[in-house]
């Protein structure tokens, strides 16, 4: 064989051999998880298979809720919400679906490790160790992943059993809240100068600042009300309601479903009894009694 041909043969032979850097850990990944195959497989396929599978689901006419879709695939609403990082109060066109309960986590970069991911969702050492054991078992990871900081590759997916994200909590209705111009409780009214209870909080913002629902719900009033000026009232699933006053513009109507932080309901203004552009925001319980909004942030 000519020298050039021999060198080419040896080069091909060498490339066919496993590289020293290819450890058992690298090869083990090929048996951990595989994509579900078709872009939108029949739900009963995922529901009946014991192994973890996921797919992209296209929402079609007649599918009215995420809970309905979750049942089709044999999972839970909370799992779909957590996996899609969306409350799914309003259905998007496409959803990532899975056939197990938990959060399906997608690795975003090659430097991520199993310990790092677990640390995002659990604080205590005992809780982290327990979650790590669940993740290893649920995803069929090799046993040494329990004692080593197992490395992951970008694009891999891991089921995190028992992990859920609670979206049904209160958020500020405007972004970047730096201060309040008036808090909840007794105060001297800026116009009447009478000392009386302020049943909400005032958030100073420039005229035209977008306003979004603090929680998802249904609009029960959208229009002018004495004192409030341009007002939107949203009722939430637990019977509580929120009010957004002094708006310059309203972009929703009565009976409309709105989602927290996503549906534009209006813009900051100074209508009604107001001394300048700001958002007056109230939280009321199911009996109509005012509750301090500042104490509801991040809670239900």
pLDDT of 244 above 90: yes
CA gap 264, 261 in Å, rounded: 8
DSSP code of residue 154: T
The DSSP element (H or E) to which 243 belongs, if any, is strand 241-250
pLDDT in tens, 39-54: 567 888 888 888 888 9
DSSP code of residue 170: B
CA gap 216, 97 in Å, rounded: 22
Least confident of 70-74, 137-141, 193-197, 247-251: 193-197
Task: Describe the chain by its helix, strand, coil percentages, rounded to 5.
Answer: 25, 25, 50
Architecture of domain 185-295: Distorted Sandwich (2.70)
Decide: helix, strand or coil at residue 140. coil
pLDDT of 31 above 90: no
pLDDT of 2 above 60: no
Provide the whole-model pTM: 0.77
CA gap 173, 178 in Å, rounded: 13
pLDDT band of residue 194 (cuts 50, 70, 90) is confident
Structure tokens at 112: 């991520």
DSSP code of residue 144: G
- Asked if residues 38 and 56 have their Cβ atoms less than 8 Å apart, the reply is no
Buried b / exposed e along 224-260 (16+ C-beta atoms within 10 A): eeeebbbbbbbbbeeebbbbbbbbbebbbeeebebbb
Structure tokens at 266: 């209006």
Query: Beta-strand (E) ranges in 41-102?
Result: 54-58, 94-98
DSSP code of residue 181: S
CA gap 277, 27 in Å, rounded: 61
pLDDT in tens, 120-175: 999 999 999 999 999 999 999 999 999 988 999 999 999 999 999 989 999 999 99
pLDDT band of residue 222 (cuts 50, 70, 90) is very high
Residues sharing a CB contact under 8 Å with residue 161, sequence separation 6 or more, in sequence order: 100, 101, 102, 131, 134, 135, 138
What is the structure's pLDDT at 124? 93
pLDDT band of residue 192 (cuts 50, 70, 90) is low
Least confident of 137-141, 207-211, 281-285: 137-141
Instruction: Give pairs for 129-133: CB < 8 Å, separation 24+.
Output: 131/160, 131/161, 131/162, 131/163
**Residue ranges covered by each domain of the chain:** 24-160, 185-295
What's the mean per-residue pLDDT of the chain?
87
pLDDT band of residue 28 (cuts 50, 70, 90) is very low
For 45, phi then psi, to 5°, come to -65, -50
pLDDT in tens, 76-111: 999 999 999 999 999 999 999 999 999 999 999 988
pLDDT of 238 above 80: yes
pLDDT of 118 above 60: yes
Comparing CA positions, the residue from 68, 62, 66 lying closest to residue 82 is: 66
């Amino acid at each position: 064989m000519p020298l050039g041909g021999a060198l080419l043969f040896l080069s091909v032979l060498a490339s066919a051999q496993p590289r020293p850097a290819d450890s058992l850990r690298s090869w083990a990944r090929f048996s951990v998880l595989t994509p579900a195959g078709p872009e939108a497989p029949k739900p009963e396929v995922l529901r009946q298979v014991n192994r973890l599978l996921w797919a992209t689901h296209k929402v079609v006419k007649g599918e009215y809720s995420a809970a309905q879709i979750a049942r089709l695939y044999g999972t839970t609403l909370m799992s779909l919400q957590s996996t899609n990082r969306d409350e799914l109060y309003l259905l998007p066109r496409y959803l990532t679906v899975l056939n197990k309960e938990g959060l399906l986590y997608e690795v975003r970069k090659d430097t991520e490790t199993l310990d790092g991911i677990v640390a995002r969702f659990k604080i205590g050492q005992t809780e982290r160790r327990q979650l790590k054991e669940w993740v290893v078992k649920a995803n069929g990871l090799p046993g040494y992943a329990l004692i080593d900081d197992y490395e992951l590759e970008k694009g891999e997916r891991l089921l995190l059993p028992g992990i859920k994200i609670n979206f049904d909590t209160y958020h500020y209705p405007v972004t970047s809240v730096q201060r309040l111009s008036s808090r909840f409780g007794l105060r001297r009214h800026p116009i009447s100068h009478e000392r009386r209870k302020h049943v909400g909080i005032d958030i100073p913002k420039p005229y035209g600042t977008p306003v979004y629902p603090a929680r998802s719900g249904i609009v029960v009033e959208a229009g002018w009300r004495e004192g409030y000026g341009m007002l939107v009232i949203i009722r939430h699933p637990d019977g509580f309601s929120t009010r957004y006053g002094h708006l310059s513009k309203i972009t929703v109507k009565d009976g409309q479903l709105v989602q927290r932080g996503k549906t534009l309901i209006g813009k900051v203004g100074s209508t009604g009894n107001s001394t300048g552009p700001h958002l007056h925001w109230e939280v009321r319980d199911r009996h109509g009694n005012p509750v301090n909004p500042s104490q509801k942030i991040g809670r239900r």
